[in-house]
Amino acid sequence: MPTHEPDFRLDGYEAVNDHVADQFWQHITIEQDMLTLLAEHHTEDGGHSFYVMHNRAVTWGIPGEPQLIALHLKRDSAARTFRFTHKELPLPSMAQSWLIARGCPEDKILLPAGMGTTPANQATRALEQRLRSDGDHFALLTSYTHDAEPIETTVLLRAIDEKAPLPFRVLLEEVDTDAWTHTLREGAFATFEAATQWWEAHWNGEAIPLPAVSPPARHTTAPGAPALPAHPAPPRGPSR
């Protein structure tokens, strides 16, 4: 995958205040040379820029941490100042969903060919489409990205609607490094305990299929929503 460093188009701009400047340095600028631009969109007036980026520096940090950054830059061309918001997320479709919820057109933030792996099948493409287009029904509880063979990511979501019959969802993305493709599947669970049992079994090497999502529902995630603290997070990664 190419390693294009992002251009934030901030020449002549300053952060709106010292706090924003410190936060931008801490979360973005300090690792800019380790960021690979996957997708970007800029409004015609230059007031807003949206980025999906991969942070290679994460691979040297805490195992399993999300490796993608969604960044929304907001510029005041008259004052020559900028603000920003960002979110670290485990899947491209979740980063895109976060940016779409902040005003980025969906078709402008899709990953171009060669940026990341290609969906292996129509089911993966359809699930990613749902994750991008509906960003307000599920909150992100935790995730684990395993970036060595076998490369895969698990994500645990919880429905915002407390009356949802299957409130816990697990996403499983698996990468085929020979074909350079990925599959994304989803399982639905009635309880946190059931989701946790699957999570632990999976990372212990047990080949347990994800339970089907039935009846069909809006398969969405609100990566910007606060995690709901009714339960502790499950074990994050492999013990095998």
Choosing from 116, 131, 162, the residue where a domain stops is 116
Co-location of 139 and 37 in the same domain = no
Give the whole-angstrom CA distance, residue 160 versus residue 227. 9
CB distance 92 to 38 below 8 Å: yes
CB distance 125 to 119 below 8 Å: yes
Co-location of 44 and 81 in the same domain = yes
Co-location of 20 and 60 in the same domain = yes
Tokens at residue 182, please? 């990925």
| pLDDT tens digits along 143-181 | 999 999 999 999 999 998 888 889 999 999 999 999 999
Q: How many alpha carbons lie under 13 Å from residue 138 in its C-beta half-sphere?
A: 26
Name the CA dihedral angle for 50, 54, 58, 62, rounded to a multiple of 10 degrees. Answer: 80
Choosing from 92, 116, 140, the residue where a domain stops is 116
Per residue of the chain (240 residues), give pLDDT as tens: 456 899 999 999 999 999 999 999 999 999 999 999 999 999 999 999 999 999 999 989 899 999 999 999 999 999 999 999 999 999 999 999 999 999 999 999 999 988 889 999 999 999 999 999 876 688 999 999 999 999 999 999 999 888 888 999 999 999 999 999 999 999 999 999 999 999 999 999 998 899 988 654 444 445 544 444 445 556 667 654
Choosing from 80, 99, 116, the residue where a domain stops is 116
- Integer angstrom CA distances of residue 123 from 107, 182, 234: 19, 11, 27
Co-location of 4 and 48 in the same domain = yes
* Residue 216 confidence (pLDDT): 44
Residue 99's domain spans which residues?
1-116
Co-location of 92 and 40 in the same domain = yes
The backbone region for 194, taken as left when phi is positive above 0, alpha when psi lies in -120 to 50, beta otherwise, is alpha
Domain count, the chain: 2
* Residue 138 confidence (pLDDT): 87
Co-location of 97 and 127 in the same domain = no
* Residue 2 confidence (pLDDT): 56
